[in-house]
Amino acid sequence: MDKQQTQVDLANGMTLREALRHKDVVRNELIAGVTGFFAISYIIIVNPLILKDAGIPTDLSVFATIFSSVIGCLIMAFWANAPVILTPGMGVNAFFTYTIVVNMGLSWQEALGIAAVASFIYMLIAFTKISTILSEAIPESLKSGITAGIGLFLVEIGLEKAGLIVAGKSSLIVLGDLTKPTPLLALFGLVLSLILFIRKIKGNFFIAIIATSLLAFFLGVKDADTPTVDLARLGQYHKIVFQNDFSNWLTTPFILAAFSMTMILVFESMGLLQGLLPDQKKFKKTFEGSSVTTFLSSFLGTSPTVAAAESASGIESGGRTGIMALTAAVLFALSLIFVPLLAYVPSAAIAPVIIITGALMMAAIGNIKMADFSEWFPAFLIIVLIPFTNSISTGLAFGFVCYPIMKLALGKGKELPWPVYLLGVLFLLDLVFSAML
């Protein structure tokens, strides 16, 4: 085992204060924090664009996205001491906008009220023994399936950002135009990232992001959506803070939407943390911290926060403690001033890191007993449906509903603990209610 890997492994068991005393650990964590931040920095641009369709002003939504991310990362640093970045979640923001507001016809203020109720229930689960019972009841094959599914999801995101796959006319996905600069730049970044990674160069992903960004600058390659943030508008931010509307909380649409969002928040967060955390001893604290941030985000004027799957990029770069999250918090805060500079870090520079990270997470497939089809098929559903539906919660739902059915068909129903059946029923209800919304 090389010296760098030994330092990373030792950092797993360190408190935040102990980690700060070790220069090598701090250096690894800083690199991990910067890498993780750049991997998820697109959320500052994309989240407001999605919430715009719900009626939330884009420039004010940028502030809400940044503030909720800063608070979430600080909680991860000081409460959980975990290498996890919390930001408004992709998927849940689409549910917030397109299901609750656009399809159901509710206002964005009511959607914020639904988010507050769902995240409050999430907190009740996180701070009680229920979270531990549910977490420990998840079969190992499904845990591995969750990790691999999130990995494949990251690969899909990375390939899309690289322009290497695009929506096709005769099929869902086709190869992108390799004559365009973005895919070519991404391929350069991918080759460079792979070389640095397999040679175990310190700061490999960070170096690749910077090198590819510099090349993009000299070639004049920039992303189309360049954010504009006028700090003078910060004085108007109060217009979306504490705007939660609970007036219709006893109506059927409100209750069904709150139930579905609760399922998304609780089990997407649980699945992400099961798949991301290098040290599962930190799960409880991390889960609690995530629930608090989710609750606060609803009052800050944005869709709920979740653990960013892109945190895996920082973890693969050596992140093991809250210093990584603290670094990301500082960078999110600085982005208030330097958001336009993010345009000089194009998607093509970030995509290779996301692709490689996803590939590493997919190695969890090897932990699944494929010879036992009753173990493999539910995990398989999770692995393929997470990326194919662009929804972690949907992939989890099909896998968790299928698992007890397979075991009952084999006459092994009595071997399963009761929480497995409870999860199956809850996810089945979630699928039914989601179809009704």
User: Which DSSP string do the residues of 124-165 spell out, in sequence order?
Assistant: HHHTSHHHHHHHHHS-HHHHHHHHHHHHHHHHHHHHHHHTSE
Closest CA to 87 of 44, 35, 56, 120: 44
- At 435 the pLDDT is 83
DSSP state of 375: H
The torsion region of residue 416 among left (phi > 0), alpha (psi -120 to 50) and beta comes to beta
String of DSSP letters for 185-226: HHHHHHHHHHHHHHTT-TTHHHHHHHHHHHHHHHHT---S--
Closest CA to 272 of 104, 143, 136, 377: 143
- Of 271, 298, 346, 260, the C-alpha closest to 51 is 298
Of 155, 157, 221, give the one whose Cα is nearest residue 188: 221
Q: Please calculate the CA angle 414-415-416 and round it to the nearest 5 degrees.
A: 90
Q: Residue 133 has which token pair?
A: 């019972």
Residue 126's CB: how many other CB atoms inside 10 A?
26
What is the rounded CA–CA span in Å between residue 170 and residue 394?
25
Per-residue pLDDT tens, the chain, 437 aa: give them: 455 566 666 788 888 888 888 888 999 999 999 999 999 988 998 899 889 999 999 889 999 999 999 999 999 999 999 999 999 988 899 899 988 999 899 999 999 999 999 999 999 999 999 999 988 888 999 989 988 998 898 899 899 989 999 988 888 889 999 999 999 999 999 999 999 999 988 788 889 999 999 999 998 888 766 556 778 888 999 999 999 999 999 999 999 999 989 998 998 899 889 889 999 999 999 999 999 999 999 999 999 999 999 999 999 999 999 999 999 999 999 998 887 777 788 889 989 988 998 898 898 899 999 999 999 999 999 999 999 988 888 899 999 999 999 999 999 999 999 999 999 999 999 899 888 77
| pLDDT attached to residue 198 | 93
pLDDT the model gives residue 330: 97
pLDDT, residue 361, reads: 86
* pLDDT value at residue 208: 92
Element (H, E) at 254: helix 252-276
pTM score, whole prediction: 0.85
Cα 368 to Cα 403: distance, rounded to the nearest angstrom: 13
Q: Report pLDDT for 343.
A: 72
**Residues 6 or more apart whose Cβ sits within 8 Å of residue 42:** 161, 347, 350
Q: Record the tokens describing residue 381, joined without a space.
A: 């559903």
pLDDT at 131: 93
Residue 216, C-beta contacts closer than 8 angstroms, at least 6 positions apart: 185, 222, 344, 346, 348, 349
How far is it, in rounded angstroms, from Cα 358 to Cα 153?
Answer: 7
- Tell me how crowded residue 198 is: count the other CB atoms within 10 A of its CB: 10
**pLDDT attached to residue 422:** 93
